[in-house]
Amino acid sequence: MEMDEKKHYKMYKSKSVWVFACLSTCLIVSFFNDGQNVSAATSASSTQISQTNTGSQPNNETTGETAQSSVNSTATASSSSVADLPSSSDSKSSIGSTISQPAVDKKETSKSDTADNDLTKSVTTSDSDKALPTSKTTLPTSNEQVQSSVGQSQTDQPASSATIATNAVTSDVSQNDQYNEPYRNQYHYSSSQNWINDPNGLFYDSKTGLYNLYYQYNPEGNQWGNMSWGHAVSKDLINWTQEDVAIPMLQNQGWEDFTYTNTTGSLKDKGEVRYVGVPTTNWGDADGKKAIFSGSIVVDTNNVSGLGKDAILAFYTADYQIATRKNDGAEDGWGTWIGLTEIQEQHLAYSLDGGKTFIQYSKDGNAANPQAIIPTSMNQGGDAANFRDPSVVYDAVNKQYYLTVVSGQQALIYKSSNLLDWTYASKIERENDVGNGVWECPSLVPMKVAGTNETKWVFCISVQQGAHATGSGMQYYVGNMTADGTWVPESSKTLQNPMTMDSGEDFYAGIPFSNMPDGRTVMLAWQSNWSYVDEAKTSPWSGNMTLPRELSLKKNADTTDGYLLTNTVVKEIANNEEANVINKAESNFTVSRSDEQVQYEGKQYKISATFSWDEADKPKSVGFKLRVSDDQKYDMIVGYDLTTGLLYVQRLNTGEPNMGAPRDKMNATVNADGSITITVYVDETSIEAFANDGQKSITQNFFMRPENIGDQATTGVYVYSNDGTTKISDLTINPITSIWNSTGQLTEKFVDENGNTIASDKIQTGRVGQSYTSESATIPGYVFVKENTDHINSNQLYTTQNQTITYTYRASQASVVTKDTTLVAGPSAAWNAADNLVGATDADGNALAVSNLTVTGAVDPKTPGTYTVTYSYTDVAGNRISKEATVTVIASKADIVTKDTTMVAGPSATWNAADNLVIATDAKGNVLALSDLTVNGAVDPKTPGTYTVTYSYTNAAGNKISKEATVTVIASKADIVTKDTTMVAGPSAAWNAANNLVSATDADGNALAMSNLTVTGTVDLKTQGTYTVTYTYTDVAGNKISKEATVTVLTEKETNIEDNTGSSISNDRENPPASITGKGGDDIHQNAKTTMTKKKTETLPQAGNHVNELAIVLGQMILAICVGGILWLKRRVKRV
């Protein structure tokens, strides 16, 4: 066969005959169990499968002489129709896989895993056609010698880790130009074109906020084959965007040579077999490829693998065929030829770019030809051809990872602490319907039991044949995990009584998303059935996913072990739901023994209602008739049978009732105590029905083709009550828009607290499911208060229903008040922003500190000038308020004026600093007190001399001013000059103090009056004698001067002469003596009769006359002495 003829294969068992058919051509080949009959009929040339073209060393040249095989005339292209069992899941089109998974007992001997020896019996070969058996291995291919050095992770990782990135295959995706083809579901994910089946590696990326969906994908056509991992992303689990192929088929894989002993499957009786040659995926030539089958993803948040923090680790099954021989040393050491058989082994690829592209991991570092992390040698299932679908989960209690794979009708559990090195732990073996189909796509899911802190491990599995409805389906079992990696069923009945995940025919290979936020458990499944998948007849795509289901484990006494796994469509479906079209007044009514049409027509919607009844007129069944044709002959029925207690979906009336096999109901037991709520999601070719909030579900595909029902619409909606009366309540219908090209609108309104519009509405549009950004706007003068939302998506995604956000504001009370100031320049002058701030308030009127404001502008306090400073504040609403202040820096007016002074020294002389200060002013010219100044220098007022005093002042700006003053301390000039006088006693004699005072001067030499002197002493003018009078004066400096004068009082006979001064002396003894007391002689009593005739006035002589007066006095004294001497001589003469 040519390469383009090797597109799709099926292996069917009809009684004792295995029928292998290549459906893409007219070739039909039958292999009977005895291996002797080969029949073929073809119009195309075929490439014979032989020992030489698949099992020889790559460096040997081989030639094959082919002979035409005998053609059985009874073989026709219709032979493929005899099959009633499909191929296996991941190897849906490969002969080895399909043969290895027949619906036979595990103990049955079968050649189904091999392209039998009989295929080459008609081929003649010579010894030269065989590879020389120099050893059991040969030189490696160039691919095996390549060591990668690019793409190395920056984190520590094993030296053996692979670092060569695989090449992504780009899909031609046009989100808006496609997806309108007939039978294309509008809100279920499908690739733009080509085949898809099992979901793989579902995970949520918390760094990007994206849900990642990988799936089995054929990049080259819409039939099964070329298995790779397709990729799509979503922000809401509903609206998906297709990405490039994430993990393409492995290419150019090198020569392999290993042995394994199969204990089950078709090779179980072959003993140890040798797998040797170049891998292939087309059962014909050694193309060096390996297919990428199903698997799972772990986000390595803590880098336990060493491949990188947050690395995305994809675990998958590599599937290929390889030449197989008995390891018996025959045929020159190669071993006896068996044929091409299938190998499945577990591999790892990792992504460092968020899951867009992946690097193949290999312990030897060769990413181009990666080694398996769990190779065939570690396969504990005993069948090298059935070892697939790794599912990895973390056990937080026991701090280890589990990897679960299936092998036939058992699940094998491996454990690891680093995600790279795995050891076998335990297995789970099927106990129900043993031998009918195989297990696929396992998952161990730790789940909290609703309303408790109890955790159970739910084992979910897909059954390739023999499911609840027909063909393939899903089951689950409840149990617990032990520390050694053993899953322990809840009871002895657990494995014998599987629970059905979904009771329809089209919910398969479901696996949960990993790394989900908020502890959610969400499962996504392939919406198809291996029994009739090829009968969908869609183009250019094939296959789609179910809606994501939110799983919850609840206690329920009606189940096997008292636990029920409910499933409902995730809440995010609301993003694509339009508003309910049923008026409230029309949502509650009664139907009796009839069908009643609902006033709505459509193909994509959600419908829900509660059906209730009375026992007195209980109907046989109730429910919906959906997608009803215009002629009412065709429909899909979703109902509840009250006689059997079954929820069911019936598709007999779609015009294509025998799709796969004839049957009329897919059903699930539901206990309805007088009522049941049924919710159905209807799409172009899909029904997903739920009873009582996910207690049971039924997923079903259907096709209403014009060639079967004619060209008419199928959009009618009815409710019915069969043979009884039913109350319908809370009927709702929400149309659901397409996930491919629908747009949503967001309107943002801006109002004040009274609802008045203060800014224009803002309208945004975008694709439903994509992000929008929205935030309160800055409106001058207003502060945001709150927001009110209408139909708002909590994750800020566009939705089908228009969304409105109303932002409410109030007037801002933010303010800034400043003042202008004047500053004196100086070396220590300082300025602070607070100096010019009067006050500031925030939007709520609360006082602000200067630290809450932004101050711009500089002030140089040392340099005179005018400076502008700006104070700004932005309130919570973004309102910015700015005010300016002017700072005037002026030169200092500080000054000191002093004066020099002279003072007289003396004991009581004092000096004060204020004596020499005339005035002092501060920087602003204000008068300063002496206390504001610093005075340096000492003055001794008691000691004559010249003293310097310094007056200093430093103003606030640091300007220092100093002035000096000179204080001259001089000796005092105070003096008193007196004279002695002689008076004649007598009654009329008079004496005055001034008579004896010649002159007196103060400290400055100024003449003093008698009144300025103190005169002490007495003169008795009646009594002859000598009297002393003292004249005293104390000057301002405390200098005291005293001078005496002698007053001589003579008798009349002694003084009966007149002195040369003209003064007459009289002696009047009748007058009493003159008493001199007090200052200046003011109190002198002059009662004596002796008087003195004054020839001069009593004005005291001036100090300048002192010398002349002294001469006169001396003259008078000499005259008196002469007169006295004469008189004495006369008396002496008389006596003699």
pLDDT per residue as tens digits for the range 38-47: 333 333 333 3
The pLDDT value recorded for residue 235 is: 97
Lowest mean pLDDT among 147-161, 605-619, 757-771, 1103-1117: 147-161
Q: Provide the 10 A C-beta neighbour count for residue 995.
A: 22
Residue 772 is assigned to a structural domain of this protein: yes
- pLDDT at position 673 is 85
* Six token digits for residue 417: 């602490």
Report, in this order, helix, strand and coil percent for the chain, each rounded to 5.
10, 40, 50
Determine, yes or no, domain membership for 55: no
Domain around 193: 161-246
Which tens digit of pLDDT belongs to each residue from 236-256? Answer: 999 999 999 999 999 999 999
614 and 719, same domain (yes or no): yes
Same structural domain for residues 929 and 845? no
DSSP result, 39-62: E---SS--PPP-HHHHSS-TTS--
What confidence category does residue 142 fall into, taking pLDDT thresholds of 50, 70 and 90?
Answer: very low
Of 268-277, 438-447, 646-655, 707-716, where does mean pLDDT reach its minimum? 646-655
> Cβ-count burial of 45 within 10 angstroms (0-12 exposed, 13-18 middle, 19+ buried)?
exposed
DSSP 8-state assignment for residue 648: E
pLDDT of residue 13: 34
Of the given ranges (6-10, 282-286, 744-748, 933-937), which has the lowest mean pLDDT?
A: 6-10
Specify the higher pLDDT residue, 700 or 91.
Answer: 700
pTM for the whole structure: 0.66
Residue where a domain stops, chosen among 687, 717, 735 = 735
For 1001, the token pair is: 């001067």
pLDDT for res 672: 81
DSSP tag of 1097: -
Minimum mean pLDDT range among 702-711, 810-819, 1106-1115: 1106-1115
- pLDDT score for 1110: 56
β-pairing verdict for 1040-1050 and 981-984 = parallel
Q: What SS3 class is residue 1081?
A: helix
Q: Are residues 756 and 729 in the same domain?
A: no
Both 1084 and 1053 in one domain: the answer is yes
Q: Give the dihedral of Cα atoms 211, 213, 219, 225; nearest 10 deg.
A: 170
Mean pLDDT of 651-671: 75
pLDDT tier, 365 (very low <50, low <70, confident <90, very high otherwise): very high
Residue 632: give its domain's CATH number: 2.60.120.560
Neighbouring-strand partners of residue 679: 608, 690
> CA of 42: how far to CAs of 98, 224, 796, in Å?
22, 22, 59
Whether pLDDT at 61 is above 70 = no
Per the structure, the count of domains in the chain is 6
Nearest-CA neighbor of 133 among 52, 49, 57?
A: 57
pLDDT value of position 1119: 81
Q: Are residues 600 and 658 in the same domain?
A: yes
pLDDT value of position 481: 98
Computed over every residue of the chain, the mean pLDDT equals 82
C-alpha distances in Å from residue 668, one per residue of 709, 884, 1061: 29, 79, 169
In the predicted model, is pLDDT for residue 348 greater than 70? yes
Q: CB count, 10 Å around CB of 212?
A: 26
Our measurement of the distance from residue 1126's CA atom to the centroid of its chain's CA atoms, rounded to an integer in Å, reads 140
Which residue type occupies 966?
T
pLDDT reported for residue 1063: 44
- Per-residue pLDDT band for 120 (boundaries 50, 70, 90) equals very low
Q: Is residue 982 part of a domain?
A: yes
| Residues shown for the chain | 1136
Percent pLDDT > 70 in the chain is 78
Q: pLDDT-derived band of residue 657, with 50, 70 and 90 as boundaries? A: low
Look at residue 690 and tell me if it is in a domain. yes
- pLDDT on residue 1117: 77
Within a domain: 792: yes
- At residue 661 the predicted structure's pLDDT band, cuts being 50, 70 and 90, is low
What's the pLDDT at 1131? Answer: 66
Question: What Cα–Cα distance (Å) separates residue 354 from each residue in 91, 299, 587, 617, 1016?
Answer: 28, 10, 47, 60, 126
Q: Is 700 helix (H, G, I), strand (E, B) or coil?
A: strand
Residues 941 and 855 in one domain: no
Q: Which of 429-443, 892-906, 1095-1109 has the lowest mean pLDDT?
A: 1095-1109
Q: Give pLDDT, residue 8.
A: 33
Q: Can you tell me whether residue 879 is helix, strand or coil?
A: coil
Residues 868 and 900 in one domain: no
User: How far is Cα 257 from Cα 234, in angstroms, rounded to an integer?
Assistant: 43
Statement to judge: residues 595 and 710 lie in one domain: yes
Choose between 483 and 70: higher pLDDT.
Answer: 483
Q: Taking residues 287-300, report their average pLDDT.
A: 97
Quick one: pLDDT band at residue 345, thresholds 50, 70, 90? very high
Structure confidence at residue 1112 as a pLDDT band (50, 70, 90): low
Lookup result for tokens 């919570």: 876
Split at pLDDT 50, 70, 90, the class of 1114 is: confident
- Tens digit of pLDDT for each residue in 561-572? 999 999 999 999
Q: Which of 919, 943, 970 is the last residue of a domain?
A: 970
Q: Are 300 and 412 in contact (CB under 8 A)?
A: no
Strand extents, DSSP E, 85-152: 114-115
Q: Is residue 348 part of a domain?
A: no
What confidence score (pLDDT) does residue 49 get?
38
Residue 79 has pLDDT above 80, yes or no: no
Mean pLDDT of 862-879: 92
Residue 662 pLDDT class (50, 70, 90 cuts): low
Q: pLDDT at residue 118 above 60?
A: no
Q: How do residues 880-930 score in pLDDT, each as one tens digit?
A: 899 999 999 999 889 999 999 999 999 999 999 999 999 999 988 999 999
Question: Cα separation of 194 and 539, whole Å?
Answer: 8
pLDDT score, position 778: 84
Residue 805, in any domain of the structure: yes
In what order do the strands lie in the sheet containing 743-752? 757-767, 743-752, 803-811, 782-790
Confidence class for position 879, pLDDT limits 50, 70, 90: confident
* Structural domain ending residue among the three candidates 735, 766, 801: 735
Whether the per-residue pLDDT at 1025 is higher than 80: the answer is yes
pLDDT for the residue numbered 145: 33
Look-up of token digits 């005093």:
949
**What's the CA angle centered on 1110, arms 1104 and 1115, to 5 degrees?**
145
CATH code of the domain containing 950 = 2.60.40.10
Same domain membership, residue 884 and residue 862: yes
Other CB atoms within 10 Å distance of the CB of residue 775: 10
- Same domain for 933 and 878, yes or no, is no
- Shared domain check, 714 and 689: yes
DSSP reduced 3-state for 77: helix
Q: Are residues 729 and 595 in the same domain?
A: yes
- Percent of the chain, pLDDT > 90? 67
The predicted pLDDT at position 698 comes to 96
Indicate whether 688 belongs to any domain: yes
* β-bridge partners, 975: 1001
